[in-house]
């Protein structure tokens, strides 16, 4: 990835998947633009290191079409045309919590906001980047979705599940349109990953996967970095699950009890 230009969205958290992915890409030689909704992204830029001007950090609300346009123009002007896009923005915005509700209790405004944050951010940024990738006949788009929605789900997560399932559909739809121009589009589906926003219940859930532990942001980042590399040139329209085998286990009760077979 030496001197490839990469944009990673949703990289504001110091212990999140977005920033871990930015670090992995930078370590592989890419010049990285990171973005978040708050000025905390400037702290991540300092932590990313490198000589002055090699990487940049930009604040942007990716649910705003005009803000996305300004973001992409800034990346192009300061680093160059984008070779790698990692759509990680979603789930929650830094510093904000989303309320979990039963499906029939979700207000329309909240439903649309959930889709905005988790799906439309991916749509707006990808739509802005794809034309330059097609012109240059090179591109890697990696969408950070989730196992929640495409494979499994939880009560009170209808909006998030819907958005992430749609994200994998978007991945396949776009992949088939751009494949002949050497542009690949893939999705990474994390399971129980331990980040700074993980609840106690989420950590416990990770401990009950076949791997007996939650995953780390760095493990998800490694999968994303591979799909963003030249080595993954013949992989497109695919989903890569990073969940410690949780989605494949049929029995998920207490260990040693009620097992079949």
- pLDDT at residue 259 in the model: 56
218 phi/psi in degrees, rounded to 5: -65, -30
Residue 260: which pLDDT band, with cuts at 50, 70 and 90? low
**Which among 49, 41, 43 is positioned nearest to 25, based on CA atoms?**
49
- pLDDT at residue 256 in the model: 67
- C-alpha to C-alpha distance for 183 and 133, rounded to whole angstroms: 7
Q: Which residues have CB under 8 Å from 39's CB, separation 6+?
A: 59
Three-state SS string over 201-252 comes to: HHHHHHHCCCCCCCECHHHHHHHHHHHCCHHHCCCCCCEEEECCCHHHCCCC
Residue range 92-98: mean pLDDT, rounded: 50
Q: Is the pLDDT of residue 91 over 90?
A: no
Q: Is the pLDDT of residue 127 over 50?
A: yes
- C-alpha to C-alpha distance for 174 and 69, rounded to whole angstroms: 20
Residue 93: which pLDDT band, with cuts at 50, 70 and 90? very low
Write down how long the chain is: 261
Radius of gyration of the chain (CA): 18
Low-confidence winner among 60-69, 91-100, 126-135 (lowest mean pLDDT): 91-100
Does 160 qualify as catalytic in the annotation?
yes
- pLDDT at residue 90 in the model: 87
Q: Which domains does the chain have, with CATH numbers?
A: 5-246 (3.40.50.720)
First to last CA, the chain: 47
Average pLDDT of the chain is 94
Tell me the C-alpha to C-alpha distance, in Å, between residue 191 and each of 126, 146, 198, 205: 24, 6, 12, 10
**Structure confidence by residue, pLDDT tens digits, 28-75:** 999 999 999 999 999 999 999 989 999 999 999 999 999 999 999 999
Choice among 138, 160, 234, 251 that is catalytic: 160
The pTM is what?
Answer: 0.95
32 phi/psi in degrees, rounded to 5: -115, 130
Residues 117, 32, 216, 191, CA torsion sign: positive
Q: Is the pLDDT of residue 96 over 90?
A: no
Q: 3-state DSSP call for residue 7?
A: strand
**Structure confidence by residue, pLDDT tens digits, 145-180:** 999 999 999 999 999 999 999 999 999 999 999 999
**H or E element, residue 84:** strand 84-87
- C-alpha to C-alpha distance for 25 and 21, rounded to whole angstroms: 6
Mind giving me the DSSP string for 96-152? --PPP--GGG--HHHHHHHHIIIIIHHHHHHHHHHHHHHHHT-EEEEEE--SBTTTB
**Which among 86, 188, 79, 220 is positioned nearest to 140, based on CA atoms?**
86
- pLDDT at residue 95 in the model: 44
Residue 92: which pLDDT band, with cuts at 50, 70 and 90? low
Q: Is the pLDDT of residue 76 over 70?
A: yes
């Amino acid at each position: 990835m030496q001197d490839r230009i990469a944009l990673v969205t949703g990289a504001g958290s110091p212990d999140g998947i977005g920033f871990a992915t930015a670090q992995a890409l930078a370590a592989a030689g890419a010049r990285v633009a990171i973005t978040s909704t708050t000025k905390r992204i400037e702290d991540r830029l300092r932590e990313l290191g490198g000589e002055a001007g090699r990487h940049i950090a930009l604040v942007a609300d990716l649910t705003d079409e005009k803000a996305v346009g300004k973001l992409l123009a800034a990346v192009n002007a300061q680093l160059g045309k984008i070779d790698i896009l990692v759509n990680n923005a979603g789930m929650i915005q830094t510093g904000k919590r989303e309320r979990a509700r039963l499906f029939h209790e979700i207000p329309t405004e909240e439903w649309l906001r959930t889709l905005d944050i988790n799906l439309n951010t991916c749509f707006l940024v990808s739509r802005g980047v794809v034309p330059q990738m097609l012109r240059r006949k090179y591109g890697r788009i990696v969408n950070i979705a989730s196992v929640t929605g495409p494979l499994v789900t939880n009560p009170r997560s209808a909006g998030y599940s819907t958005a992430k399932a749609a994200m994998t559909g978007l991945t396949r739809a776009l992949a088939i349109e751009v494949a002949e121009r050497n542009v690949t589009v893939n999705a990474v589906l994390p399971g129980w990953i331990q980040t700074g926003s993980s609840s106690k219940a989420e950590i416990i859930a990770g401990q009950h996967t076949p791997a007996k532990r939650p995953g780390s942001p760095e493990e998800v980042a490694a999968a994303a970095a591979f799909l963003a590399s030249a080595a993954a040139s013949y992989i497109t329209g695919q989903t890569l699950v990073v969940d410690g085998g949780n989605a494949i286990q049929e029995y998920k009760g207490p260990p040693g009890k009620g097992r079949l077979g």
